[in-house]
C-alpha cells in the first residue's frame, strides 16, 4: 500500500518508514525540510514538503505524527500555541488533501491513524485508565483534545479514523531515554518528586507494530491507548532502569526543583496516568515487550 506519514522524519516515524518498506509498502513522508531529513530516512522514501504535493500519487493510508516536541521549551503562552498549531495544521493538511482528492473524483485513503498522547487524560493519580476514562482538564488534555478533534472531519468523508494515545516511547537514540540515560549511567539518576506518578510507556517497535495493526484491521476505529499493558510508577521506572544499568539511583529530584526549573511543563514529569491499552488488547494486538524489564533489557 502507499502510506503517507506526516512527521515521518521523527523518532517514531523513522522506524515506521523502515518497517513499512520492509513489508513492501511505498512510503511517502511530509516534512518541513525534505532535504535536511533525507539522510535520516531510507532512500526509498518519497519526501515532499506538503501533503498536497502528493496529489499525483494519492496515498491509501495516512499516518499523522507531526508536531512540535512537547518537551522542547518551557510552556509559555506562545509555545503552547506552537504545540497546538503545529499539530492542527499538519492534521488539517491531510483533511485538505482528502477534500481535493474527493473534488477531483480520485480515490480517498481508506484509513488515517492519527497521533495523540497519554496527556489526553491529564493527571489521573493512581486510577486505572482506559479509553473510556474522563479526562482531567489541563493543558496536556486541551492539546490532545484539539489534535484529536482536528482529525475528526475525515470520518465524514468515509475515511476510517483510528487515534493513538501514545505513552512514552522507549528506544535508544531518541525520546525520553536519550534524556534520562546520561545521568543514570553516571549513577546520578533518581525519581522525580514522590515517584508515585504513573509513566505509561511503550517500546518503539511495539508502537510501530500497533500503527500497522490499526492500519490493517479494517473494523477498528476510534481512540486506542498506545502503551504497554504494564505501566509503572516513576519510582518503579527509576529502579528498573538503574537495575538494568547496574547503577544506583539515589538522587531524587524534589518536585519544587522541577517546578522551578520547568514551570507548568513539570507536569510531564510529576503527574501521569495508569493508562492501559484496553482496546488494542481486546482487538487481539500482542505486545512484543509487555514489561519494562523486557523492554529495557532489549534496548540497553
Ligand X SMILES: NC(=O)c1ccc[n+]([C@@H]2O[C@H](COP(=O)([O-])OP(=O)(O)OC[C@H]3O[C@@H](n4cnc5c(N)ncnc54)[C@H](OP(=O)(O)O)[C@@H]3O)[C@@H](O)[C@H]2O)c1
Q: Which of 166, 8, 150, 9 is nearest to 92 (CA)?
A: 150
Residue with the shortest CB distance to ligand X: 10
Q: Which of 234, 211, 174, 198 is nearest to 285 (CA)?
A: 211
- Indicate the residue among 90 and 225 with the shorter CB distance to ligand X: 90
Least Cβ distance, residue 117 to ligand X (angstroms): 4
- Indicate the residue among 29 and 154 with the shorter CB distance to ligand X: 29
Least Cβ distance, residue 250 to ligand X (angstroms): 26
Least Cβ distance, residue 73 to ligand X (angstroms): 11
The CA–CA distances, whole Å, from 276 to 52, 128, 200, 268 equal: 36, 7, 8, 18
- Indicate the residue among 9 and 238 with the shorter CB distance to ligand X: 9
Residues interacting with ligand X, by CB under 6 A? Answer: 7, 9-13, 31-33, 37, 65-70, 82, 86, 90, 115, 117, 166, 168-169, 175-176
Least Cβ distance, residue 139 to ligand X (angstroms): 14
- Indicate the residue among 208 and 249 with the shorter CB distance to ligand X: 208
Which residues contact residue 234 at a Cβ distance below 8 angstroms, ignoring those fewer than 6 apart? 191, 192, 193, 195, 196, 197, 198, 199, 269, 272
Q: Which of 94, 67, 66, 71 is nearest to 83 (CA)?
A: 67
Q: Contact 239/296 with Cβ under 8 angstroms? A: no
- Indicate the residue among 34 and 195 with the shorter CB distance to ligand X: 34
Q: What is the CA radius of gyration of the chain?
A: 19
Least Cβ distance, residue 143 to ligand X (angstroms): 9
Q: Which of 195, 181, 291 is nearest to 242 (CA)?
A: 181
Amino acid at each position: 500500500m502507499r502510506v503517507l506519514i506526516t512527521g515521518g522524519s521523527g523518532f517514531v516515524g523513522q522506524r515506521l518508514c523502515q518497517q513499512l518498506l520492509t513489508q513492501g509498502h511505498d512510503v511517502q513522508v511530509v516534512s518541513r525540510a525534505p532535504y535536511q531529513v533525507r539522510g535520516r530516512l531510507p532512500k526509498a522514501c518519497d519526501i515532499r514538503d506538503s501533503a498536497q504535493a502528493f496529489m499525483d500519487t494519492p496515498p491509501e493510508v495516512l499516518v499523522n505524527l507531526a508536531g512540535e516536541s512537547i518537551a522542547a521549551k518551557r510552556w509559555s503562552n506562545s509555545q503552547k500555541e506552537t504545540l497546538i498549531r503545529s499539530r492542527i495544521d499538519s492534521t488539517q493538511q491531510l483533511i485538505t488533501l482528502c477534500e481535493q482528492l474527493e473534488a477531483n473524483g480520485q480515490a480517498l485513503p481508506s484509513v488515517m491513524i492519527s497521533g495523540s498522547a497519554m496527556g489526553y487524560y491529564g493527571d489521573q493519580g493512581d486510577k486505572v485508565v482506559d479509553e473510556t476514562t474522563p479526562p482531567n482538564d489541563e493543558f496536556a488534555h486541551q492539546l490532545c483534545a484539539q489534535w484529536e478533534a482536528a482529525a475528526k472531519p475525515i470520518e465524514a468523508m468515509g475515511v476510517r479514523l483510528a487515534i493513538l494515545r501514545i505513552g512514552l516511547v522507549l528506544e535508544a537514540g531518541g525520546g525520553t531515554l536519550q534524556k534520562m540515560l546520561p545521568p543514570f549511567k553516571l549513577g546520578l539518576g533518581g525519581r522525580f518528586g514522590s515517584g508515585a506518578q504513573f509513566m505509561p510507556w511503550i517500546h518503539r517497535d511495539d508502537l510501530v507494530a500497533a500503527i500497522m495493526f490499526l492500519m490493517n484491521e479494517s473494523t477498528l476505529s476510534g481512540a486506542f491507548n498506545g502503551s504497554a499493558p504494564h505501566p509503572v510508577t516513576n519510582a518503579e521506572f527509576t529502579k528498573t532502569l538503574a537495575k538494568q544499568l547496574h547503577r544506583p539511583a539515589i538522587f531524587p529530584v524534589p518536585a519544587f526543583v522541577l517546578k522551578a526549573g520547568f514551570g507548568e511543563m513539570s507536569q510531564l514529569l510529576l503527574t501521569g496516568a495508569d493508562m492501559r491499552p484496553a482496546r488494542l488488547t481486546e482487538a487481539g494486538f500482542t505486545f512484543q515487550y509487555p514489561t519494562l524489564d523486557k523492554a529495557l533489557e532489549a534496548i540497553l
